[in-house]
Amino acid sequence: MNGTFSGNPKTEWLVDTGKEDRDMLLLEDFWYIDPDGRKWEAPNGSVINGASIPRPLWSTVGSPYTDDYRRASIVHDVACHDPAILRKDADKMFYFACMAGGCTKGQAKILYAGVRIGAWAGGVFPKDTFSRIKLLYRLTEKAGVDEMRINLKFAEITKELNNLDDKAEFADIKAVVDGHV
C-alpha cells in the first residue's frame, strides 16, 4: 500500500499580480497518510503552487498541476515550507503519495528525481535563475547554460533509474538520486 489521501482537495486560484500567477489557496484541510502511518497535513488556508519540479524539466517530467501527482504536490508543498520537516523526508513522502494518487512506480521515481533536483538546484543556483521571463526569452546566456546543466543532471539520473529492476525499493531509487545531487 502506498498510503491514502483524505479525498479531493478544495482550492481556489489566487491572482498574483507581477508574479507567475500559479498559487492556490487550500479551502479545506487536506491530508495524506504514508505507508508508515505518518499523517502529512495541509491545513485550510495553506498557499500551494504545485509540484516542486524545476521549470526546465516541465516539458520532460510535467508541470506543477498536471497528471496524477497533483494531490501529492499539495502535501509536499506544505511539508517543504515547514521548518520542522526535512526536505528529504518530504520528498520521500512525495514519491509514495504520487503512487497513492495513481502514478506508476516508474512515474513516481522520475517525479521523485525531479523534486530532488529541485531541492539541489535551489541550493546551487540563485533564486531567480529560472524565472519565467528568463526561460521564455533567454535574456541571459547564463540562464540557458544553467537550464542545460539541470537537464543533463536529470538525464543522467533518469538513465540510471530506468536501469533499475521494476522491483527496486525506495532505498535503491534514493541511492541513485543521492549519487547525483
DSSP, collapsed to helix, strand or coil, labels residue 47 as: strand
Q: Summarize pLDDT for 18-56 with one digit per residue, the tens.
A: 666 778 899 999 999 999 999 999 999 999 987 666 677
- Provide the mean pLDDT of the chain: 85
* Residue type (1 letter), 96: F
pLDDT of residue 28: 97
- When divided into structural domains, the chain yields a total of 1
Distance of CA 13 to the CA centre of its chain: 19
Highest average pLDDT, of 55-64, 87-96, 132-141, 143-152, comes from 87-96
CA distance 56 to 71: 22
pLDDT of residue 117: 86
What number of CA atoms fall less than 13 Å from residue 107's CA on the CB side? 15
Q: Summarize pLDDT for 46-102 with one digit per residue, the tens.
A: 999 876 666 777 777 777 777 898 999 999 999 999 999 999 999 999 999 999 999
pLDDT of residue 86: 96
> pLDDT at residue 9 above 90?
yes
CA distance 15 to 34: 32
CA distance 158 to 113: 8
- The pTM of the full predicted model, rounded to 2 decimals, is 0.83
Domain that holds residue 79: 4-178
CA distance 157 to 4: 28
* Residue type (1 letter), 29: D
